[in-house]
Amino acid sequence: MSGEGSFPTRFGTVAIVGVGLMGGSLGLALRQRRLAHRVIGVGRDAARLSHAVSLGAIDSFQTDIAVGVEDADVVVLCSTIGHILEVLPGVLQAVKPGAVVTDVGSTKTTIVEAAAAFPNFVGGHPMAGSERGGVEAATALLYQEATWAITPTDTTDPAALRIVTALAQEIGATTLLLDPKSHDAMVAVTSHLPHVLATSLMRSAALATQTLPQTPRLSAGSFADMTRVSASPAPIWRDICLTNRDAILAAIASFRGELDALEKAIMNSDAAEIEKLFAGGAKAKETWGAER
C-alpha cells in the first residue's frame, strides 16, 4: 500500500474511525510527515472512504469497524460524540493487545468514563476545526499550532499517554493535560457557548428579515465573524449539548447575567454604565490575548 515502506515511523499502523474534516486532516498530516506505515480509514460509506483514499487522507479503508482496527497500533476515533460512544465498546474489544485508543471528541467526561476499564484509552480534544465538514475540507495543517487537550485519568497507562501526546505534537499541535471535567467546563465557555450564541444570533437575524428583507445587505464583518460557526453540522452540536449539558447551561447562565446587565444599562440610558461594560469587555479581551 502507498503508505507502507521502510522509512522510520513512530506510530506503526494507525486506524482512523470517521474520515471527515478531523479524521481526514489527521490522516493527511500523518502521511505527509511519514509518521505511520499505514493509515486505515474506517467508516460506513465505502464511496466516501474511497474518495478519502484518492485525496491522500488514508492508504486503505474498511467498513467493518472490528476488522478495520484489529491490526492497528493506534486507533483514533474522529466521528461525532454519539457515534464515538456507540462504537467505543466494540473498538476496545477488537483491538490487539497493547494498542492505544484515543479520540478527538469535543466533550470528554462521558467518553472517558465509557472507556474507564481500558487503561490504553486516552481522551483527547484538539482545539481545531472549521464550519465546513467532510474530508474535502481536510488539510494537513489543521492541527498546526492548535492546542490539543489530553485528559488522562488515574488509571491511564503512562506509555499510552506518551504515545497520544507524541502523536499530537508530531502533527504540529501543543498539548495540554487536563482532567475531563475541567476540560468540559472550559470548552463550554470557549467553544460550546460561542456556537450556541452564533446559532441563536443567526436565527434571530433570520426572523428580522421577515419584516426587513434587506437586512442581510447591511451585515458586514462583525456579523460574519459572530455567525460563521452557525454553519457547523447540526449533529455534532446536538451531541455536544447532550453530553456537556450542565457545563453549557452554566455558561449560558453566566452569559445571560452579562447580557442582562447591558440590557438594563441601555434601558436606563445609563451612559456611564454602558461605557463601563464595553470598556470591561475590551480590557478582558486584551488580557485574554496576553494569557493565551
Helix H, strand E, coil C: the string for the chain is: CCCCCCCCCCCCEEEEECCCHHHHHHHHHHHHCCCCCEEEEECCCHHHHHHHHHCCCCCEEECCHHHHHCCCCEEEECCCHHHHHHHHHHHHHHCCCCCEEEECCCCCHHHHHHCCCCCCEEEEEECCCCCCCCHHHCCCCCCCCCEEEEECCCCCCHHHHHHHHHHHHHCCCEEEECCHHHHHHHHHHHHHHHHHHHHHHHHHHHHHHHHCCCHHHHCCHHHHHHHHHHHCCHHHHHHHHHHCHHHHHHHHHHHHHHHHHHHHHHHCCCHHHHHHHHHHHHHHHHHHHHHC
Whether residues 18 and 33 fall in one domain: yes
Supply the pLDDT for residue 39.
97
- Domain extent, residue 114, equals 13-179
Q: Which of 156, 179, 202 is the last residue of a domain?
A: 179
Q: Mind listing the pLDDT tens digit of every residue in the chain (292 residues)?
A: 333 444 446 899 999 999 999 999 999 999 999 999 999 999 999 999 999 999 999 999 999 999 999 999 999 999 999 999 999 999 999 999 999 999 999 999 999 999 999 999 999 999 997 767 789 999 999 999 999 999 999 999 999 999 999 999 999 999 999 999 999 999 999 999 999 999 999 999 999 999 999 999 999 999 999 999 999 889 999 999 999 999 999 999 999 999 999 999 999 999 999 999 999 999 999 998 675 5
Whether residues 208 and 157 fall in one domain: no
Q: How many domains does the chain have?
A: 2
Quick check: is 85 in a domain?
yes
Quick check: is 7 in a domain?
no
In degrees rounded to 5, what are phi and psi of residue 125? -155, 100
Quick check: is 145 in a domain?
yes
Supply the pLDDT for residue 129.
77
Supply the pLDDT for residue 273.
98
Whether residues 226 and 285 fall in one domain: yes
Residue 19: give its domain's CATH number: 3.40.50.720
Whether residues 187 and 175 fall in one domain: no
Quick check: is 2 in a domain?
no
Supply the pLDDT for residue 212.
95
Quick check: is 163 in a domain?
yes
Whether residues 174 and 281 fall in one domain: no
Supply the pLDDT for residue 291.
56
Whether residues 147 and 226 fall in one domain: no
Left (φ > 0), alpha (ψ -120 to 50) or beta: where does 81 sit?
A: alpha
In degrees rounded to 5, what are phi and psi of residue 133? -120, 175
Count of C-beta atoms within a 10 Å radius of residue 225: 10
